[in-house]
Amino acid sequence: MNVITNCLRDKSSSCALVPFITAGYPNINICIQALKVLDKNGADIIELGVPYSDALADGPIIQEASQVALQQGIYIEQVLYILKTVIPDLNAPIIVFTYYNPILVRGVNKFISEISAAGAKGLIIPDLPLEEVDYIIELCDFYGIELILFIAPTSSESRIQLILSKSPGCIYLVSSYGVTGIRDSINLKIKHLADSIKSKTNKLIMLGFGINKTDQVQEILNWNIDGIVVGSAMINQMMGNFSQETLDSLGRFCQELKSCMNIKNTKKEYI
């Protein structure tokens, strides 16, 4: 059962909102509070990133959050604790976002079984080699986890076709070249890429990397996109001297983005 795909399909708004935060940032207790705030303020799905020191796709904001978390000893055990503690109180399903090396170190079967037992419903591994996708999908299927595969703007047509043929559920479309981070605009070439993907498959698409403000969200609502991931801008709301106002600010920002998505857009057409 692909819980994440079903959530994208059953969304009540024009697009699903998928906030991303780093596990254990700025500490475990605040991270748990932040997840609850996102859930109560419009998040349809939540991505929780496993801190990693060599994250090639992460921009400076997420890298800084990872470093802070790692300095406090946030590793797989602590991430599992966060999941087990918070998931019973959430409506939004959680996707675990992690690079492949921490999974290999932990043991692939052990890692996937543990995140499943902790209540996670999805898994994203941005640097997963295509040669190993079938094995990971088999394990994820067994443990009830939806593996979400990446398509980048640089992906060749043959690679896109292969990813679409292997993907068990939804697709994560990278909205920009390079690493994550706050950007002033969204590359319009991604719209055409999304149209191309939708012409080949009925799989749903989440769009992420660089989306950080309401006018970008409003623009994307016209595209063939089913979910919008906002990461660096969410974590940015949590930076600085932490106080209750920080959580309030995070909640307002999440609510503001969700409000844009609740506006039904008659221009949006699916192929």
Any idea which residues carry the catalytic annotation? 47, 58
Locate all alpha helices (DSSP H) within the chain, ordered by sequence. 3-9, 28-40, 60-71, 76-86, 100-106, 108-118, 133-143, 157-166, 189-200, 214-220, 232-237, 244-261
C-alpha to C-alpha distance for 31 and 75, rounded to whole angstroms: 14
C-alpha to C-alpha distance for 146 and 124, rounded to whole angstroms: 9
Check if the beta carbon of residue 255 is closer than 8 Å to that of residue 41. yes
Amino acid identity for residue 54 in this structure: D
Check if the beta carbon of residue 158 is closer than 8 Å to that of residue 200. no
Number of CB atoms found within 10 A of residue 187's CB: 15
Task: Tell me how far the alpha carbon of residue 46 is from its chain's centroid.
Answer: 6
C-alpha to C-alpha distance for 117 and 84, rounded to whole angstroms: 8
Q: To which H or E segment does residue 230 belong? A: strand 227-230
